[in-house]
């Protein structure tokens, strides 16, 4: 999450002090972010804000995953209001007062991650988190929060109001997993979880509930659904791995698990592993895949070399000399993730193993 980065904006000297604390805290957590402020407030490491706030936000809006305004909530609201389109595409917007006493989730709380970012900032700088979405206040998980947690696309966003209303009003709500879809059993609370072999069977299950959600790879005609139902389709998630010749299966498995934990992706949501084809006979690689319950996609050096992506880490001279390409894990993950893939975890090194995670459509 927040792979495109977070923009922190402060307008006063006091605000810049708090913004710098947020900046440092997010960097410590390895969350990409940049600090912006008017030139007279810049303490030396912020980027000067050289235009009116509204114009700057308009220019920034589609380029970052989140905007944190260290200023009055009204100023933030007026700046972002002309840019708003949809909760499924707008960046998360969080407001923090200049003294850092409160962190407030303003927009895209669930799917955009503003609620999560609010809690992170509050925890790190000692502020009080303010989250007002009804499901959170009642200790329940909205369907768009389910989509974010499980990294799913929402196919019929017009259903969200009715389904979330059913959740907060105590109606019987079901989450149906169709086909081979897997999720961690303890991750989603407040829903009755059912399994169905097909979309047709799922529709029969839904008739016994007030509302629900389907997680499916099949096409489901929304007009055939008997109740308010949100259709979620899982994004493709792949883990790219590079390893030394003598890396053991346990070292590889441990690196993969730590990488997934870092971005809060459950192992059950991973579709497969990917690496260079010269590793196809590696005992460590084969053993790790077996223990993780996943399969390898072995990719040629030529295919890895052909990957062009703005998010790639700098090439490793040593790796390039050894196998002919400057990096394996990021390129392998992107190739296997498929169409419009993006890195949700850049190369992470651990005990001679490199891991990257990519997400595709």
pLDDT of residue 356: 95
Environment class of residue 216 by beta-carbon count within 10 Å: exposed (0-12), middle (13-18) or buried (19+)?
A: buried
Q: What is the pLDDT of residues 318-344, one digit of tens each?
A: 888 888 888 999 999 999 999 889 999
Confidence of residue 59 (pLDDT cuts 50, 70, 90): confident
Average pLDDT over residues 148-177: 89
pLDDT of residue 78: 93
Confidence of residue 135 (pLDDT cuts 50, 70, 90): low
Q: Which residue has the tokens 């050096």?
A: 301
Average pLDDT over residues 153-173: 89
The pLDDT of residue 138 is above 60: no
CA distances from 339 to 263, 288, 335, 360 (A): 21, 26, 8, 6
CA distances from 248 to 237, 244, 288 (A): 24, 9, 8
Residue 18 host element (H or E)? helix 13-28
* Domains of the chain and CATH, by start: 6-132 (3.40.50.11220), 143-234 (3.40.1390.40), 236-360 (3.30.420.180)
What is the model's pTM?
0.72
Angstrom distance (rounded) from CA 188 to CA 283: 36
Confidence of residue 289 (pLDDT cuts 50, 70, 90): very high
Count the Cβ atoms, other than its own, within 10 Å of residue 222: 12
pLDDT of residue 111: 78
pLDDT of residue 44: 63
CA distances from 52 to 11, 23, 37, 75, 95 (A): 11, 22, 11, 12, 18
**Calculated CA dihedral for residues 70, 72, 76, 79, nearest 10 degrees:** -120
pLDDT of residue 131: 84
pLDDT of residue 302: 93
| Long-range Cβ contact pairs of 43-51 (< 8 A, separation 24 or more) | 43/16, 45/20, 46/10, 46/16, 46/19, 46/20, 49/9, 49/11
Q: What is the pLDDT of residues 238-263, one digit of tens each?
A: 999 999 888 999 999 999 999 999 88
Average pLDDT over residues 79-104: 90
pLDDT of residue 285: 94
The pLDDT of residue 346 is above 70: yes
Report the DSSP pairing between strands 152-154 and 229-234: antiparallel
Please state the length of the chain. 361
DSSP 58: H
* Phi, psi of 227, rounded to the nearest 5 degrees: -135, 170
Q: Are 105 and 91 in contact (CB under 8 A)?
A: no
Q: Which of 42-56, 86-100, 128-142 is predicted least confidently? A: 128-142
């Amino acid at each position: 999450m927040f792979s495109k980065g977070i923009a922190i904006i402060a307008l006063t000297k006091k605000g810049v002090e708090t913004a710098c604390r947020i900046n440092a805290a997010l960097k410590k957590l390895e969350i990409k972010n940049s600090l912006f402020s008017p030139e007279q407030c810049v303490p030396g490491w912020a980027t000067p804000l050289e235009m009116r706030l509204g114009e700057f936000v308009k220019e920034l809006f589609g380029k970052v995953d989140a905007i944190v305004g260290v200023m009055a909530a009204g100023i933030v609201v007026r700046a972002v209001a002309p840019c708003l389109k949809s909760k499924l595409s707008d960046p998360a917007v969080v407001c923090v007062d200049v003294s850092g006493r409160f962190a407030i989730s303003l927009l895209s709380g669930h799917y955009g991650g503003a609620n999560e970012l609010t809690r992170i900032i509050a925890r790190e700088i000692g502020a009080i988190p303010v989250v007002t979405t009804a499901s959170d206040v009642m200790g329940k998980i909205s369907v768009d929060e389910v989509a974010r947690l499980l990294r799913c696309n929402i196919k019929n966003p017009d259903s969200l109001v009715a389904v979330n209303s059913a959740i907060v009003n105590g109606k019987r709500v079901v989450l149906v997993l169709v086909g081979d879809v897997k999720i961690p059993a303890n991750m989603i609370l407040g829903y009755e979880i059912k399994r169905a072999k097909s979309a047709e069977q799922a529709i029969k299950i839904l008739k016994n509930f007030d509302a629900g959600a389907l997680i499916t790879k099949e096409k489901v005609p929304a007009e055939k659904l008997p109740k308010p139902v949100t259709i979620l389709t899982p994004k493709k998630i792949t883990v790219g791995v590079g390893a030394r010749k003598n890396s053991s299966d346990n070292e590889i498995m441990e690196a993969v698990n730590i990488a997934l934990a870092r971005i809060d992706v459950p192992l059950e949501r991973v579709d497969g592993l990917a690496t260079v084809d010269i590793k196809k006979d590696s005992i460590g690689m084969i053993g790790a895949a077996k223990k993780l319950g996943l399969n390898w996609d072995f990719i040629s050096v030529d295919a890895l070399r052909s990957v062009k992506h703005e998010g790639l880490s700098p090439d490793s001279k040593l790796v390039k000399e050894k196998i002919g390409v400057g990096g394996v894990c990021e390129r392998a993950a992107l190739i296997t993730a498929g169409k419009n893939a993006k890195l949700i975890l850049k190369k992470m090194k651990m005990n001679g193993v490199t891991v990257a995670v990519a997400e595709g459509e």
